[in-house]
Amino acid sequence: MIIEPVNKIKKITTYMPSDQSKVFLQALGMGAMAGIRTFSAPVTCAHILSHRYSGELGASRLRFMQSGVAANVFKILAIGELIADKLPFTANRIRPLSLTARCLSGALVGAAIYKSVSGNLVVGAAAGTGAALISSFVSFYLRKAIVDKSQLPDPVVAIMEDLFVIAGGLSLNCIGNAT
């Protein structure tokens, strides 16, 4: 009985980047995703974590992040967000409520990533929050500038933004699965 959890804990070291700089970059990357699309980071993080067991994460309050159910719920929320973002009445991402949600999303994924490798979840949450905050403003003003300069309709630019976030999620998934 004791051997199985130890084996599962060892398994996580093959899933997450082994050195702290890679863990930090993954937390920053997912935090940046949260700044662009609130649910993109939790869906990516939960997907990765649901395929790899972490004893540290499993013993914490963040254990739901390695649940397949959480991964699926985040997938549904992310799809809803992709649709809602194209609607004309959707609030912009730098309004206080939207910005708070993005920062909380970044904090969640950063903390979960760090906790899964026995790291300091406060450092992870800070990295995810900071990246979400910065990317919220950068992506907002960049999207606005692209729409203004290119004369492309905002929903078209939003779809390009979605593709960028999806590509980022796939890249972070590869980093998370690197051995």
pLDDT average, residue stretch 83-110: 92
- Residue 54 near residue 117, CB atoms below 8 Å: yes
d(CA 122, CA 145): 34
pLDDT at 86: 84
Q: Flag whether pLDDT at 84 surpasses 50.
A: yes
* DSSP per position, 24-48: HHHHHHHHHHHHHSTTHHHHHHHHH
pTM for this one? 0.83
32: Cβ contacts below 8 Å, ≥ 6 apart: 106, 131, 132, 134, 135, 168
Q: Flag whether pLDDT at 10 surpasses 70.
A: no
pLDDT at 175: 64
54: Cβ contacts below 8 Å, ≥ 6 apart: 8, 9, 12, 15, 16, 66, 115, 116, 117
**Rounded to whole angstroms, what are the CA distances from 142 to 84, 120, 145, 146?**
19, 33, 5, 6
- Percent over 90 (pLDDT), the chain: 58
Supply the DSSP symbol for 151.
-
More confident residue, 108 or 7: 108
Closest by Cα among 139, 137, 142 to 168: 139
* DSSP per position, 50-107: HTS--HHHHTSTTGGGG-HHHHHHHHHHHHHHHHHTTSTTPPPTTSHHHHHHHHHHHH
pLDDT at 52: 83
Q: What is the mean pLDDT of the chain?
A: 86
Q: Flag whether pLDDT at 126 surpasses 80.
A: yes
pLDDT average, residue stretch 5-23: 54
3-state helix, strand, coil in the chain (%, to 5): 80, 0, 20
Burial class (CB in 10 A: 0-12, 13-18, 19+), 132: buried
Q: For the ranges 44-48, 56-60, 62-66, 74-78, which has the lowest average pLDDT? A: 56-60
